[in-house]
Amino acid sequence: MSKNKQGKKHIHILDGMSLYKRDKSPFYWGYLNVGGEIYKKSLKTRDKREAEKFLFEWKSKLLLDKSLNKLNGNLEMDVLKNPVVNNTRRKALMITSSLMGAVTVAGFAVPFLSAWNPSERAKALGASVKFDLSKLEPGAMAVVEWRRTPIFVVHQTPKALENLPKLNNRVTDPVLSEGVARSTNEKFTVLKGVCTHLSCAPKYHPEIEPKAWDEQWLGGFFCPCHGSKFDLAGRVYKGVPAPTNLEVPPHTFEGDTLIIGELT
Amino acid sequence: MASEKNTIMGWVDRRLPVTENLERHLTKHPVPKKVNFFYLFGALLMVVFMIQVVTGIWLMMFYTNTEEGAFASVEYIMRDVEYGWLMRYMHSTGASAFFFLMYFHMFRGLLYGSYQKPKELVWLFGCFLLFLLMAEGFLGYVLPWGQMSYWAANVILSLFGAIPFIGPDLQVWIQGDFVLSGITLSRFFALHVVVVPLLMIALVVFHIFALHEVGAGNPEGVDIEKYRDKKGMPLDGAPFHPYKTFGALPAIGIFFIVFFAIVFFAPTGGGYFIEKPNFEEANFLKTPEHIAPVWYYAPFYSILRAVTFGIPFLGITSKFLGFIIFAASIAILFVVPWLDRSNVQSIRYKGMYSKIAMILFAASFITLGYLGTKPVNELRTIIAQICTVFYFAPFILMPIYTKYEKTLEVPDRL
Ligand code: HEM
Ligand code: FES
Q: Which domain holds residue B366?
A: 301-414
CA atoms within 13 A on the CB side of A253: 13
A233 lines ligand 2 (CB under 6 A): no
> What CATH number is given to the structural domain containing A201?
2.102.10.10
Name the residue with the closest Cα to ligand 1, atom 8: B42
B322 lines ligand 1 (CB under 6 A): no
Report pLDDT for B205: 95
Write out chain B's pLDDT in tens, 414 residues: 556 778 899 889 888 989 888 888 788 888 888 888 899 999 999 999 999 999 999 999 999 999 999 999 999 999 999 999 999 999 999 999 999 999 999 999 999 999 998 899 999 999 999 999 999 999 999 999 999 999 989 888 988 888 888 988 999 999 998 889 999 999 999 999 999 999 999 999 999 999 988 888 899 988 887 787 777 778 888 888 888 888 888 999 999 999 999 999 999 988 888 888 889 999 888 888 777 889 999 999 999 989 888 887 887 877 889 899 999 999 999 999 999 999 999 999 999 999 999 999 999 999 999 999 988 888 999 999 999 999 999 999 999 999 999 989 888 887
Contacts of B206 (CB under 8 A, 6+ apart): B121, B125
Residue B384 lies in a domain: yes
Q: How far is CA A67 from the centre of its chain?
A: 52
* Residue A89, pLDDT above cutoff 80: yes
* Interface contact B375-A227, CB threshold 8 A: yes
In angstroms, what CA-CA distances link B245 with B28, B32, B44, B97, B217? 11, 13, 12, 21, 17
Among candidate residues B100, B175, B189, B179, the one with its CA nearest the CA of residue B144: B189
Q: State chain A's mean pLDDT as an integer.
A: 85
Same domain, B61 and B172: yes
Q: What is the mean pLDDT of residues A17-36?
A: 87
Chain A's closest residue to B307, CA to CA, is A241
Chain B's closest residue to A241, CA to CA, is B308
Which residue(s) pair with B238 in the sheet?
Answer: B31
Same domain, A81 and A21: yes
Residue B380 lies in a domain: yes
Same domain, A96 and A44: yes
The DSSP bridge pattern shows strands A149-155 and A141-146 to be antiparallel
Residue A113 lies in a domain: no
Residue A54 lies in a domain: yes
* Interface contact B308-A240, CB threshold 8 A: yes
Same domain, A154 and A221: yes
B74 lines ligand 1 (CB under 6 A): no
B20 CA to centre of ligand 2 in angstroms: 57
Chain A's closest residue to B147, CA to CA, is A200
Same domain, B262 and B306: no
Same domain, B255 and B383: no
Q: If you count DSSP H runs as helices and E runs as strands, how many of each does chain A have, helices first?
A: 4, 14
Indicate the residue among A75, A106, A137 that finishes a domain.
Answer: A106
Residue A252 lies in a domain: yes
Same domain, A130 and A240: yes
Q: List, for residues A44-78, the tens digit of each pLDDT value.
A: 888 888 888 889 889 888 888 777 776 665 555 55
Name the residue with the closest Cα to ligand 1, atom 31: B126
Indicate the residue among A55, A80, A106 that finishes a domain.
Answer: A106
B46 lines ligand 1 (CB under 6 A): yes
Total domain count, chain A: 2
A246 lines ligand 2 (CB under 6 A): no
B142 CA to centre of ligand 1 in angstroms: 28
Q: What is the mean pLDDT of residues A75-100?
A: 77
- B 277-296 near A (Cβ less than 8 A): 284-291
> What CATH number is given to the structural domain containing B225?
1.20.810.10
Other beta carbons within 10 Å of A132 = 11
Same domain, B337 and B196: no
| Chain A residues in contact with B289 (beta carbon < 8 A) | 203, 224
Residue B230 lies in a domain: yes
Residues of A with CB under 8 A from a CB of B: 26, 116-119, 122, 125-126, 143, 145, 147-150, 193, 196-203, 212-213, 223-227, 239-244
Give the containing element (helix H, strand E) for B85: helix B84-111
* Nearest ligand (C-alpha, residue B213): 1
Same domain, B67 and B193: yes
∠B48-B127-A241 over CA atoms, to 5°?
Answer: 105
Same domain, B194 and B256: yes
- The share of chain A scoring above pLDDT 70, in percent, equals 90
Mutation pick from A117, A194, A199 vs chain B, by most beta carbons of B within 10 Å, is A199
In angstroms, what CA-CA distances link A212 with A187, A217, A224, B370, B375? 28, 9, 12, 19, 10
Contacts of A205 (CB under 8 A, 6+ apart): A211, A217, A219, A220, A221, A222
Residue B148 lies in a domain: yes
**Residue B281 amino acid letter:** E
Q: List, for residues A92-127, the tens digit of each pLDDT value.
A: 999 999 999 999 999 999 989 999 998 888 777 767
SS3 label, residue A216: coil
Residue B224 lies in a domain: yes
B191 lines ligand 1 (CB under 6 A): no
Residue A53 lies in a domain: yes
Q: Does A174 sit behind a cis peptide bond, omega within 30 degrees of 0 on the bond before it?
A: no
Mutation pick from B5, B157, B301, B319 vs chain A, by most beta carbons of A within 10 Å, is B319
Q: What is the mean pLDDT of residues A139-160?
A: 90
8 A C-beta contact, residue B273 and residue B265: no
Indicate the residue among A82, A106, A130 that finishes a domain.
Answer: A106
- Shortest distance between the Cα of B367 and any Cα of chain A, in A, equals 17
Report pLDDT for B357: 96
Residue A91 lies in a domain: yes
Between B257 and A42, the higher pLDDT residue: B257
**Residue B21 amino acid letter:** N
Q: What is the rounded CA–CA span in Å between residue A54 and residue A45?
A: 9
8 A C-beta contact, residue B196 and residue B136: yes
Residue B220 lies in a domain: yes
Q: If you count DSSP H runs as helices and E runs as strands, how many of each does chain B have, helices first?
A: 17, 2
Same domain, A134 and A248: yes
Same domain, A159 and A87: no
* Closest residue to B155, CB basis, from A116, A119, A198: A198
Between B25 and A3, the higher pLDDT residue: B25
- Shortest distance between the Cα of A226 and any Cα of chain B, in A, equals 6
Q: Kindly report the pTM of this predicted structure.
A: 0.79
Which atom number of ligand 2 is nearest to the Cα of residue A226? Answer: 3
Total domain count, chain B: 2
| Chain B residues in contact with A148 (beta carbon < 8 A) | 178-179, 181, 284
Same domain, A144 and A254: yes
Same domain, B59 and B190: yes
Report pLDDT for A1: 45
Residue A151 lies in a domain: yes
Same domain, B113 and B175: yes
Same domain, A143 and A246: yes
Residue A111 lies in a domain: no
Same domain, B98 and B223: yes
* Closest residue to A226, CB basis, from B154, B157, B376: B376
Same domain, B142 and B251: yes
Same domain, A129 and A238: yes
Chain A's closest residue to B293, CA to CA, is A225
Q: What is the mean pLDDT of residues A246-260?
A: 89
Same domain, A77 and A141: no
* Nearest ligand (C-alpha, residue B207): 1
Which atom number of ligand 2 is nearest to the Cα of residue A242? Answer: 3
Same domain, A60 and A188: no
B29 lines ligand 1 (CB under 6 A): no
Same domain, B74 and B188: yes
Residue B6 lies in a domain: no
- Shortest distance between the Cα of A236 and any Cα of chain B, in A, equals 13
Report pLDDT for B38: 92
Residue A115 lies in a domain: no
Q: Which domain holds residue A43?
A: 2-106
Give the containing element (helix H, strand E) for B372: helix B352-372
Report pLDDT for A264: 52
Same domain, B260 and B313: no
- B 220-249 near A (Cβ less than 8 A): 230
Same domain, A94 and A217: no
